[in-house]
Structure formats: structure tokens, C-alpha cells
Amino acid sequence: MSKQEVKSNILPPLQKRIILHLAKSGAQTINETDKAVSGLEGHYKSSYTALKTLEEKKLVKQTEIKTYRTIEYPRYWLTQAGIFFALVEGADAQTLLERTTKTYPDDKTLQGIVEISPLTGLEGLRIALSAIQDKGKLDNSDMARILLAGAQRDVSIQQFKELFRILRKYPKDYERTKKHIGQVSALLAKLVSSF
């Protein structure tokens, strides 16, 4: 992992606008992105540089190709880290879930975490972003960590029921999360009994 990835989660304003724009609009070419985020003619180079820097930081990647008059143009969208960065910055979770399902149809763990993100709060999003930065992707243990982070907030029983209702849509992740929470529960019971 490069130092640039880990150095900071703070992005310059243009890069942040690009992330939030892609989160809202879906995959776009550099030119489409430039027109939307700069709103001015002649800023293509700065948008190009910003998008390439985001690609180096592994927040965006090429996801599809647009063909226009027999010329192919790459379209870019968010990576896992980019998705969670956008959520931390206030992007709409429902829009991101729709785009995530379209762009990453086989990544059920990612879809599940994006879907529960409004219920887990900012701390859950930060845990997801940190896990991606540390390991390069989300895995089964991350769902339990995110749920436990949400439990540290004032979460009602109704909200937990909603979390588990959503998780049941993703059977593999649901079973893994249930197992991890059971292990944590057993460990906490041992800890409490030792006092």
C-alpha cells in the first residue's frame, strides 16, 4: 500500500466535488465529469489531473467504455474506498446503493454495508473506509465490526431489527455476521464473569 493512500482522507475541493458528482451521477468520462464539476470552459486539464490523482489514490477506477464516433472513452466510477469516502462526505446512500448494485453486482458484502450505512452512522462508515485502506477490500469480519460500532451509539431495538432485516437479504453475510457477533457476545460474557 502506498503512503499516498494512507496519508490522509482529506481531499482538495475539486477531487471531493468529483467524488460526490460520480456518487450522484454514475460512471462518466473525464469530459462529462469536467463539464459537471467545473461548470467552466477550459478546465479540462485540472479535472483530468484531479481524476487521475483519485485513480492513483484508488478512490475511482475505469468501469466501462463509452464509444462515440468509433472512438472509445473510458468512464470512471468509485471504488469501494471511493464509495465510503462519498458516504462520509454526505452522498445519498440510496443513490449509491443503486449505482453500487449496477457497477458491482457480485459484491454482496459491499452492497449490504452500503445499504445499512444510514443506520450505522459515521463511525461505521469510517470503519469500512479504514478496513478498505488497510486490506484493500471489505471482508466478512468487517460487517460485525461495523454493526458493533453502531451499537455503541444510542441505537433502538427497532433500528437493530431493521439492520438485521437488511442483512437477511445477504444470506452469506448474515450468517457470518451472526457467527462473529455470537463470538463477541461469548467473549464479553467471559469478561463480565471475571469481574
**For the chain, where are the alpha helices, taking DSSP H only?**
3-7, 13-25, 30-38, 44-56, 80-88, 93-103, 108-135, 140-151, 157-167, 171-193
115-145 per-position pLDDT tens digit: 888 877 777 777 777 777 787 777 767 777 7
Q: What domain count does the chain have?
A: 2
Shared domain check, 143 and 73: no
Based on the domain organization, do 174 and 113 belong to the same domain?
yes
Which helix (H) or strand (E) segment holds residue 78: the answer is strand 71-78
* Residue 152 placed within a domain: yes
Lowest mean pLDDT among 42-46, 153-157, 158-162: 153-157
131 domain-assigned:
yes
Q: Is residue 58 part of a domain?
A: yes
Residues 70 and 113 in one domain: no
Domain that holds residue 62: 3-78
HEC readout, 89-114: CCCCHHHHHHHHHHHCCCCHHHHHHH
Q: How confident is the model at residue 1 (pLDDT cuts 50, 70, 90)?
A: very low
Give the predicted TM-score (pTM) of the model. 0.76
Long-range contacts from 26-29, C-beta under 8 angstroms, 24+ separation: 26/77, 26/99, 26/102, 26/103, 27/63, 27/64, 27/75, 27/76, 27/77, 27/103, 28/75, 28/76, 28/77, 29/66, 29/73, 29/74, 29/75, 29/76
Q: Is residue 84 part of a domain?
A: no
Q: Are residue 63 and residue 108 in the same domain, yes or no?
A: no
Does residue 10 fall inside a structural domain?
Answer: yes
8 backbone dihedrals φ, ψ, rounded to 5°: -165, 150
Whether 185 and 110 share a structural domain? yes
Q: Which residues pair with 64 in a beta bridge?
A: 75
Amino acid at the residue 20: L
Q: Looking at the domain assignment, is residue 95 inside a domain?
A: no
**CB neighbours (10 Å) of residue 18?**
29
Same domain membership, residue 106 and residue 52: no
Beta-bridge partner residues of 76: 28, 62
67 plus 148 within the same structural domain? no
On whether both 74 and 130 belong to a single domain, the answer is: no
- The answer as to whether 88 is a domain residue is no
Same domain, 111 and 188: yes
Q: What pLDDT digit, counting tens, does each position of 6-31 carry?
A: 344 578 888 999 999 999 999 988 88
70 shares its domain with 32: yes
| Final residue in a domain of this structure, among 63, 78, 93 | 78
Q: Domain check: are 7 and 70 in the same one?
A: yes
User: Tens digit of pLDDT for each residue in 99-120?
Assistant: 999 999 998 888 888 888 887 7
Pair (146, 73) in one structural domain: no
In the three-class reduction of DSSP (H, G, I as helix; E, B as strand; rest coil), residue 2 is classed as coil
In a domain, 119, yes or no: yes
